[in-house]
Amino acid sequence: MTVSHILGYPRIGAQRELKKATEAYWKGDISRGDLEATGQALRLSHWQIQQNAGLDFISVGDFAFYDQVLNVSVMLGAVPARFNAQHEVSAGNVDLDTAFRMARGRAPSGTPAVACEMTKYFDTNYHYLVPELHEGQTFTLASDRLFNEVDEALQAGFTPKVTLTGPLTWLWLGKAKGSEFDRLSLLDSVVDVYSEILARLATQGIEWVQLDEPALVQDLPLAWQQAYERAYHRLQSAPLKLLVATYFGALGDNLSLTTRLPVAGLHIDAVRAPGQVESVIDRLSPHQVLSIGLVDGRNIWRADLAALRERLLPLKVRLGQRLWLAPSCSLLHVPVDLSQETELDSELVGWLAFARQKLDEVVTLARLIDNRTTPIDEQRVSEATYALDKRRESTRIHQPAVSSRLAAITPQESQRQSPYAARAATQRRALALPLFPTTTIGSFPQTDEIRAARRAFKAGELSQTDYEARMREEIAFVVERQQALGLDVPVHGEAERNDMVEYFGEQLEGFAFTRFGWVQSYGSRCVKPPIIFGDVTRPVPMTVKWSEYAQSLTDKPMKGMLTGPVTILQWSFVRDDQPRATTCRQIALALRDEVLDLEKAGIRIIQIDEPALREGLPLRQHEWQDYLAWAVESFQLSAAGVKDSTQIHTHMCYSEFNDIIGAIAALDADVITIETSRSDMELLDAFQDFAYPNEIGPGVYDIHTPNIPDVAWMVALMEKALEKIPAERLWVNPDCGLKTRGWAEVEPALANMVEAANQLRQRY
Ligand code: GLN
Ligand code: ZN
């Protein structure tokens, strides 16, 4: 029989129960006991769902109140000293509030301390807490949570497989603190604790433990490759079976090292890397299990069961009992349950599968290749085939005008008329800006009243006319404040936007929105990415009336504000029936029309935000060039149609720029504003080293804190910037948009910022 399993299930709950409970606990509205009870109820219900679906194992260890990587850090006793938890660590029992303090700096009990750093998990939008590693650090088993969850599952009568981040991936995700040292020097002590964990799990009666090692799909230094063999040879002695899980890409040059690991099974991603399946099977030893991930764990499309059956049959012949089936990765990265989407039209629903539905797909596939189908399996296959045939032909997806426009793109369309130097001269004349022009990144505080107005409009309680009047009032207020502050390039404030991607997706054709399609982003935070299902077009202008109105209130050049094609792509679920590059170009052309309409309406400065450009980088370096080429081309396509005198800005945040500085220069934006204040302008080094030719606004005001930056501090930051970039090419602006801040902070902060620019002008 083919074993069906999953690598992990979403923990937030179909109604985001976990989010609500943890936030209520942090606020003091519910007790620790209530929170634990919610966690337990969610686990039990998720296990029940998995068992009812017919999976051979239910997944234990994928639950976390905040983050699964943090769970492992806590379990290894890797709690930084500032959290004062030495006693808890040595007692083998790190408190939940200690874990929350590591994640968010504070918790209902314990002294606040600086939270651990958080960053994106591989190429997903899920953020994990970065393990802090110190030279000579030792580890010790410091939490019973996992074992308790195993007991809970066993007592409820389930057959668990335990999942845990593997020791090397955990170290790989960690960051050396204090003095630089080789993280691998800690491996032996880490593996000691893993051995202890595995031994404990074995005594509990666990047969299989899945160790997630997605680091194996990245470029690893030789020492890390060798460490894999060493570590797993030591873990091999555990009296249970290990399944090493890899996902998000191909094993590539780590292929033979991975297949040689002395473990009972491997999991590979056959969605992202379909080509590797046969070569992995060739190298597998005769008793090893291979779990093949053919159901997409990163996207929301329904699986083509009939086609997958054909793909699997020859593999089944080769592997027999050793074939396991699973989604490509943990289902953490997709929404929970499609059956809640009662407001999506039924045709579209027919094309989709969320986590709950993907369980059925895996189980049915296993029964299909075993020839033990039930009527329900037959029905699932025929429904999938029918829906996907429809999808292939649907006129909602394929618009001939879009493909012919794409096919007709000429190289000139992605180039501005003149090179930057010539444009800069024209713009200087046209815009008459002072040295060190001041501006903001686009959004102003999103007050409760603004949110309430948007909500009332959506709910039909506020008429279109009243809503627009309300938004114009807000724009007038924001413009007036900026005039009073003396900002050189004002913005309209983005009051009408709930989210920088959703706002555009809702107005573009080819996008769909779910009601409950939440995916965990970090901790209790969830996002609801749009679904790009069809060719993208822009039926009518999206931002022009707001920008035009804002411009009518001032003689200063009003900056129009758009989200760039790569960011829209990156923060959506994307079609799987054409390359990402194609979808990105389609979005780019829609934005190009918007840019040109803004220009026609008299907007002389247009900003196209691309905060997600860097996070789109593929996991393997040899794929970077191809990605950057189409990403850059897409940005250019959206921007380059304007006259020389129209100034194009772009904005990027939470980025290191070293890897992509060439691509940033190739965007050829006239001005780029970036987040730099927290790095003390160090992020500008990449621009200096590259001799970046265009204008830069290095953020001088960290918008992530409520602190009001003082004038001298901002001047000092600009002085640092001036060591790297000439004055004629520098702008003065905050790090990012101000929507999460309040007016009480924003006004004095911007007043100081304008004053800093004035002082600089006197000196240069
Ligand atoms: N224009 C957007 C804003 O100001 C940019 C947000 C972002 O960079 N994430 O909010
Ligand atoms: Zn930003």
Q: Which residues line ligand 1 (CB under 6 A)?
A: 441-443, 494, 500, 561, 609, 611, 651, 653, 736-737, 739
442 is in an annotated binding site: yes
Question: Which numbered ligand comes closest to the C-alpha of 441?
Answer: 1
Please give the structure tokens belonging to residue 680. Answer: 């003390």
Ligand closest to 697 (CA) is: 2
CA of 701 to the centre of ligand 1 (A): 14
Mean pLDDT of 696-714: 93
Res 640: pLDDT:
98
Given the residues 333, 492, 622, 704, the one annotated as active site: 704
Residue 562's nearest CA partner among 476, 642, 481 is 642
Atom 1 of ligand 1, nearest CA residue: 442
Query: Whose atoms come closest to the Cα of 439: which ligand?
Result: 1
Dist. CA 500 → ligand 2 center (Å): 11
Q: Band the pLDDT of 3: cuts 50, 70, 90.
A: very high
Question: For residue 706, is pLDDT > 90?
Answer: no
Q: What is the mean predicted confidence (pLDDT) over 204-219?
A: 98
What is the distance between the alpha carbons of residues 350 and 693, in angstroms, rounded to a whole number? 50
In whole angstroms, how large is the CA radius of gyration of the chain?
A: 27
The pick from 651, 673, 674, 740 for probing ligand 1's pocket by mutation, whose C-beta has the most ligand atoms within 8 angstroms, reads 651
**Residue 255 in tokens:** 């292929």
Cβ-proximal residues to 48 (8 Å cutoff; 6+ apart), any chain: none
Largest CA distance in the chain: 82
Containing H/E element for 560?
Answer: strand 559-563
Residue 404 — very low, low, confident or very high, per pLDDT cuts 50/70/90? very high
Nearest C-alpha to atom 10 of ligand 1 is from which residue? 737
φ/ψ of 476, rounded to 5, equals -60, -40
Q: Is the ipTM of this complex over 0.95?
A: yes
Ligand 1: atom nearest CA of 739 is 10
Q: What pLDDT is recorded for position 688?
A: 96
pLDDT of residue 383: 98
Q: In what helix (H) or strand (E) does residue 509 lie, and over which residues does it extend? A: strand 509-512
Smallest CA separation from ligand 1 atom 6, residue: 737
Distance from residue 737's CA to the centre of ligand 1 (Å): 5
Is 615 among the annotated ligand-binding positions?
Answer: yes
* Residue to probe by mutation, ligand 1, list 439, 440, 443, 607, most atoms within 8 Å of CB: 443
Determine the distance separating the centroid of ligand 2 and the alpha carbon of 706, expressed in angstroms.
Answer: 16
State yes or no: 526 annotated in a binding site. yes
Integer CA distances (angstroms), 382 to 277, 303, 350, 377, 597, in order: 26, 12, 12, 9, 47
Instruction: Flag whether 494 is marked binding.
Output: yes
pLDDT at 566: 98
Is residue 602's pLDDT more than 90? yes
Do residues 444 and 746 lie in contact, with contact meaning Cβ atoms separated by under 8 Å?
Answer: yes
The residue-averaged pLDDT of 137-148 equals: 98
Count the residues in the chain.
764
Mean pLDDT (the chain, rounded): 97
525 is in an annotated binding site: yes
Give the span between the Cα atoms of 176 and 185, in whole angstroms: 11
Nearest ligand 1 atom to the CA of 737 is 4
20 vs 35: CA distance, rounded Å:
10
- Nearest ligand 1 atom to alpha carbon 443: 4
Instruction: Quick: pLDDT tens for 446-477.
Output: 999 999 999 999 999 999 999 999 999 999 99
18 is in an annotated binding site: yes
| Predicted pLDDT at 656 | 81
Question: Ligand 2: distance of its center to the CA of 508 in Å?
Answer: 23
- Three-class secondary structure of residue 20 per DSSP: helix
Average pLDDT over residues 288-296: 98
- 332-387 pLDDT, tens per residue? 999 999 999 999 999 999 999 999 999 999 999 999 999 999 999 999 999 999 99
Using CA atoms, how far apart are residues 714 and 748, in angstroms rounded to an integer?
13
Q: Which pLDDT belongs to residue 447?
A: 95
Mutate to test the pocket of ligand 1, among 444, 450, 500 (most ligand atoms within 8 A of CB): 500
3-state helix, strand, coil in the chain (%, to 5): 50, 15, 40
Residue 169 Cα distances to 69, 131, 190, 217, angstroms:
10, 11, 11, 11
633 Cα–ligand 1 center, Å: 22
Q: What is the pLDDT of residues 508-520, one digit of tens each?
A: 999 999 999 999 9
Cα distance between residue 686 and residue 661, in whole Å:
7
272 is in an annotated binding site: no
**Mutation pick for ligand 1 pocket among 492, 609, 650, 674 (CB with most ligand atoms within 8 Å):** 609
Taking CA atoms, 459 is separated from 110, 145, 643, in Å, by: 42, 43, 41
Ligand nearest to the CA of 655: 2
Element spanning 478, H or E = helix 464-485
Ligand 1: atom nearest CA of 441 is 4
Residue 209's nearest CA partner among 293, 301, 147, 296 is: 147
Give the pLDDT confidence score for residue 705 in this predicted structure: 84
Ligand nearest to the CA of 609: 1
Spacing, Cα 608 to ligand 1 middle (Å): 10
**Mean pLDDT within 73-79:** 98
Residue-wise pLDDT for 606-620, tens only, equals 999 999 999 999 999
Nearest CA to ligand 1 atom 5: 737
Direct distance between the N- and C-terminal alpha carbons of the chain, in angstroms, rounded to an integer: 77
> Catalytic: 704?
yes
Q: State the pLDDT confidence band at 321, using cuts at 50, 70 and 90.
A: very high
Q: What is the pLDDT of residue 678?
A: 80
pLDDT at res. 677: 85
Q: What's the average model confidence in pLDDT over 144-163?
A: 98
**Spacing, Cα 79 to ligand 1 middle (Å):** 34
